[in-house]
Chains A and B, each alone.
Chain A
Amino acid sequence: MSSPDYALSVTGLSVRYGRVSGVENVSFTVTPGETVALVGPNGAGKTSTLRAIAGLLPRSGVRVRGEIMVGGRSVRGWSPWQVAGLGVAMIPAVTKVFPHLTVKEHLQMSGRKLRSAEYDSAQARVLELFPQLGSRLSAPAAALSGGERQMLALGAATMHRPALLMIDELSQGLAPSAVTAIVEGLRTLTTDGLSLLVVEQSLGTALSLASRCYALESGRVSAEGPAERFQESAELAGSYLGRQSVQDSPAPAAAAGQDNEEPCIKVTGLSVRFRGLQALSDVTIAVRPRQTVGLIGPNGAGKSTLLNCINGAVRPTAGEITLSGRAIRSLRPHQIARLGVARTFQNAELWKSMEVLDVVQLGSHTARLPRRAALARARTALEFVGMTGIETSAVADLPYGHAKLVDLARALATQPEILLLDEPASGLTQSERAAMAKILVRVGADLNITTVIVEHDMQLVRECCAQVIVLSHGRVIAEGDPDTVLAADNVASELLGLTATSTTAAD
């Protein structure tokens, strides 16, 4: 069945990380010279798919099934260098370049097998595609802006004229003007016969480039077809925005403090810059006591960075954060934890070789309780999340959903004033997700904890949050109650990433 008509064909691909499913039965094709986009929210399995094709998944602990054909040859289980030998290049989402090497050195390294005349023409072609790089040939990659790094990565990857180029998160963290230039460059490359497989959060950028799209949701292909059809696909919007809740949610706002009460979390003019990337710019928000707030936005919008700033793991470049009136600028994470700030982690397998009861008791570390009290508190927290009878199991032996609940119990055992939840529903199955939503509603209603939830699952946000804050490109673009905010056109298009289309079209 090997068909050389396809530059790439993937059939029934499944990737499992231990007990966590990353990709389930995904099939798609890329014909020579075609551009195909994989779109979908964070955690949908897009990057796992690319890594499986490139041979970049670790050998142990990961199970890959299905068929991956590149140019008519089955490459499943191949090493990265073997796949690259077939003319497949990949640009990862984050680490694209070597920070200490110059632009020129990157190109030389990529073109090291070319003869000098070939090299000269290859370099000339790259500089023609991205003229911006020409003036920066002797600059180290660390000094480049995000857009220039992506251009350099593209240039280096195409020195050898690969047959298939895979790009993970093409536009993530890039300024709109840079995205326009890069999209232009890629169009030129594809007219020369290059096949492109682009993973993209921003639907607008994806649609401006690709002829066909595959939407992934929870590891499965939820929609596929020609790019034009995606523009107004209600189905796709549903997977990004969550279905409108049918019944009224049980008024999560009831317990929230009054407008005149002093904010529990107050963030003023917060900016964070790292590695040439503006993660947050001039963010100002206030969360009232006992309120549950959802922090949403496309991937790379700065949601996790904001969470990390509040608990001290990231130091802001500018701006001020006060928790119940106390400035936390000079405090270290453990000191902030002592003020009553708890958080859960996106990766619930963090405490994998610890026993459940030890993990949850870790929650009372800051309280310095006597043994019995610490134990009692841990058991109460485990009961609250419905995880009893597993006290002596190691976290690594639990189903992933249970591990997430144990981590939540750990955070609750600190009896925090402020609870920060980093993607509580990511990696959960549908039923686990529903259970998590119910528990989070109770956290807000029964425990009266001020809660900030970073989440991509809008259904869960609608169920749990009285208020949402939408971040995009490091800025707050909307605030208000979930139904109104999510219904607003600009928010919907921002979450779907449709705004980039207008930018591109305008140029």
Chain B
Amino acid sequence: MSTAVKTPVADPPARQPWRLRPSAEAAVSPVAIVVGCLVVLLLAWFAFTPYYLYLTVLTAFACIGAAALNLQMGFAGLVSIGNAGFMAVGAFTAVWADHYGGLLVGVLAGGVAAGIAGLLVGAVAMRLRGFYLVLSTLALQFIVAFAGQQIEQALNKPAGFILPIPSVGPWQLGSDRSWLMFALILLAIELIVIHLIMRGRLGRAFLAIREHENAAGVVGVNVALHKMLASGISAAMIGVGGAALGYYIGNVDYSTYTLDLAVSYAAMVLIGGLGSKYGPLLGAAVVTLLPALLSALDSGSSAGYFTQHASSIDLLVYGLLIIAIVLVEPGGLAVLLRRLTDPVGRRLARIVRGNGS
């Protein structure tokens, strides 16, 4: 009976022709993630010098953190700068769990511990919004730094803890190549998990909370629960990254996990594109490679001005980049890039359809 009634609504705009059907798009992302990681791996494996290889490993780790932070900040809209704290929780837990089974156990335990910390922070933070939320996540930063310092003092390890060169079965992670492979596997798994979350019920609930908290509740989303979940899942992923990075550096010391580190991760997400799927990966690359780029400005002299002041100049440049992004394109590098590529895509679609109009 309802089919007989024609709705006299104007024709909706046609689907953009260069985009795939939603059903096909669903399969594209995981494949693209794996292919992308493989391409980076092959490039780095065969072409990069040791220094660039090292930078690529750092970038891969940064990507793990940025993608996780984006889940919370970009998709669920919960601003957080407690990420260095979660990394520390992951790394310190890995030091303890390493005795019970090496790298994989350490990394997993780090993720679980950081995840629990994330749920706890989420339980407090779900009552807060905006500025107060940021401050509450900052508190975690100081608590963890203090606890780390106390533990190191109590156990008489003034320079922090040493993690051994780990191995997974017969595979020893001694070289940067093997580390790159490990980091990229972790990143690929993480990106696929985020992709699955975001195309499901949980992801839609996060988006609804980001768009309008009260309306999300009216729609049926348990806002408090989902805020905790967003914080917990994001923290668990950051913890995994922190634990793995701890193994890579070989040393876990509370002084590594500074506010600067937390800010640089937030910068990655903001510069890359808050709430964009892959933008934060771009942001992670920019922020990680920036110091190397600045050092290159010193043209030969091994300890020039830029190298000496690298850490403070970095922060200055992050700051300027963030201001520029907010003013020019709040969507970040991801949207800027799409603006450049969209005309190309449209032209391609026109060629494929075979009319020049």
Do A and B belong to a common assembly? yes
Determine if A435 and B7 form an interchain contact, defined as CB atoms under 8 angstroms apart: yes
Q: Interface size for chain B: under 10, 10 to 19, 20 to 34, or 35 or more residues? A: 20 to 34
Q: Return B80 CB to nearest CB of chain A, in Å.
A: 19
Interface residue B219 (Cβ < 8 Å from any Cβ of A): yes
Asked if A343 meets B8 with Cβ closer than 8 Å, knowing A353-B211, A353-B275, A354-B207, the reply is no
Q: What 0/1 readout, one digit per residue, does chain A (422-440) give for beta carbons within 8 Å of chain B? A: 0000000001101100110
Residues of B within 8 A of A333 (CB): 214, 217-218
Task: Give the distance to chain A from B222, nearest Cβ to Cβ, in Å.
Answer: 5
Inter-chain contacts of A442 with B (CB < 8 A): 2, 5
In the complex, what residues of B have CB within 8 A of residue A114's CB?
none
Task: Please count how many residues in chain A sit with their CB below 8 Å of the partner chain's CB atoms.
Answer: 52
Evaluate contact between B2 and A446: CB separation under 8 angstroms.
yes
Tell which of B9-17, B293-301, B348-356 binds the partner: B9-17
**Smallest distance from the beta carbon of A408 to chain B beta carbons, Å?**
11
For B208, what are the chain A residues with a Cβ–Cβ distance below 8 Å? 351, 354, 362, 365
Q: Which residues from 376 to 435 on chain A have a C-beta closer than 8 Å to any C-beta of chain B?
A: 384-393, 398-399, 401-402, 405, 410, 414, 431-432, 434-435
Please provide the chain B residues from 205 to 236 with a CB less than 8 Å away from any CB of chain A in the complex.
205, 207-208, 211-212, 214-215, 217-223
B15:A365 contact, CB within 8 angstroms: no
Question: CB < 8 Å: which of B7, B200, B220 contacts A371?
Answer: B200
Rounded to whole Å, the gap between the CB of A478 and the closest CB of chain B is 28
In the complex the two chains form, is B219's CB within 8 Å of A434's CB?
A: no
User: Is B217 within 8 A of A334, CB to CB?
Assistant: yes
**Interface of chain B, main secondary structure:** loop
Cα-based distance from A365 to B208 in the complex (angstroms): 11
CB-defined contacts of B217 to chain A, threshold 8 Å: 313, 332-334, 337
Given contacts A351-B211, A387-B12, A438-B8, contact A338 B219 (CB under 8 A): no
Q: Does any Cβ of B come within 8 Å of A366's Cβ? A: yes
Query: Which residue of A338, A350, A358, A389 contacts B12 across the interface (Cβ within 8 Å)?
Result: A389
Is A392's CB under 8 angstroms from B22's CB? yes
Please, how many angstroms separate the alpha-carbon atoms of A446 and B3 in the complex?
A: 10
Whether A438 pairs with B220 at a CB distance below 8 angstroms is no
Give Cα distance in the complex from A84 to B275, angstroms.
40
Q: What's the nearest-Cβ distance from chain A to residue B349, in Å? A: 14
Q: Provided the pairs A334-B221, A357-B22, A384-B2 are in contact, do residues A402 and B12 lie with their beta carbons within 8 angstroms? A: yes
- Residue among A342, A351, A363, A393 making CB contact with B13, cutoff 8 Å: A393
Query: Does A311 lie at the interface of the complex (its beta carbon under 8 Å from any beta carbon of B)?
Result: yes
User: Is B204 close to A, CB under 8 A?
Assistant: yes
**CB of B157 closer than 8 Å to a CB of A:** no
Q: 8 Å CB contacts to A: which residues of B24-63?
A: 25
- Shortest Cβ distance from residue B345 to the other chain A in the assembled complex, whole angstroms: 14
B337 CB contacts on chain A under 8 angstroms: none
| A352 touches B (CB below 8 Å) | yes
A345 interfacial contact with B, CB 8 Å: yes
B19 touches A385 (CB 8 A): no
Closest A residue to B222 using CB positions: A334
B1 interfacial contact with A, CB 8 Å: yes
Taking the complex as formed, is B339 at the interface, i.e. its CB lies under 8 A from any CB of chain A?
Answer: no
Residues of B within 8 A of A313 (CB): 214, 217-218
Within 8 A of B (CB), among A325-350: 332-334, 337-338, 342-343, 345, 350
In whole angstroms, how far apart are the Cα atoms of A396 and B201 in the complex?
21
In the complex where A332-B217, A334-B217 touch, is A365 in contact with B201 (Cβ < 8 A)? yes
Interface contact tally, CB-CB below 8 A:
110
- Contact present for B207 and A358 (CB under 8 Å): yes
Partner of B223, one of A334, A361, A364, A390: A334
Instruction: State in angstroms the CA–CA spacing of A343 and B219 once bound together.
Output: 7
Any B CB within 8 A of the CB of A374: yes
Measured between beta carbons, the chain A residues less than 8 angstroms from B204 are 354, 358, 361-362, 365
Chain A neighbourhood of B221, CB < 8 A? 334, 362, 365
**A435 and B2: CB pair below 8 A?**
no
A-side contacts of B205, CB under 8 Å: 362, 365
A113 within 8 A of B: no
| Residues of B close to A59: CB separation below 8 A | none
On chain A, the residues within 8 Å of B14 by CB distance are 389
Report the Cα distance A391→B20, complex, angstroms.
12
Give the docked Cα–Cα distance between A401 and B22 (Å).
Answer: 24
Q: Which residues of B contact A410 (CB under 8 A)?
A: 219
A115 interface residue per 8 A CB criterion? no
Which B residues lie within 8 Å of A439 (CB)?
A: 7
- C-alpha gap A392/B8 in the complex (Å): 22
B112 to chain A, nearest CB (A): 26
Let me know if A365 and B12 touch, CB within 8 A: no
Residues of B within 8 A of A368 (CB): 201
In whole angstroms, what is the CA distance A18 to B215 when docked?
A: 22
Residue of A nearest to B223 (CB): A334
CB contacts (< 8 Å) of A354 on chain B: these are: 204, 207-208, 211
Q: Measuring CB to CB, which residues of chain B are less than 8 angstroms from any residue of chain A? A: 1-2, 5, 7-10, 12-16, 19, 22, 25, 200-201, 204-205, 207-208, 211-212, 214-215, 217-223, 275
**Nearest 6 interchain pairs by C-beta:** A386-B7, A337-B220, A366-B220, A333-B217, A386-B9, A390-B12
**Chain A to chain B contacts (Cβ below 8 Å), 28 pairs:** A313-B217, A334-B217, A334-B219, A343-B218, A351-B207, A351-B208, A352-B211, A353-B211, A354-B208, A362-B204, A362-B219, A364-B201, A365-B201, A365-B208, A384-B2, A386-B9, A387-B9, A390-B12, A390-B15, A398-B13, A402-B12, A405-B9, A410-B219, A414-B219, A431-B8, A431-B10, A435-B7, A442-B2
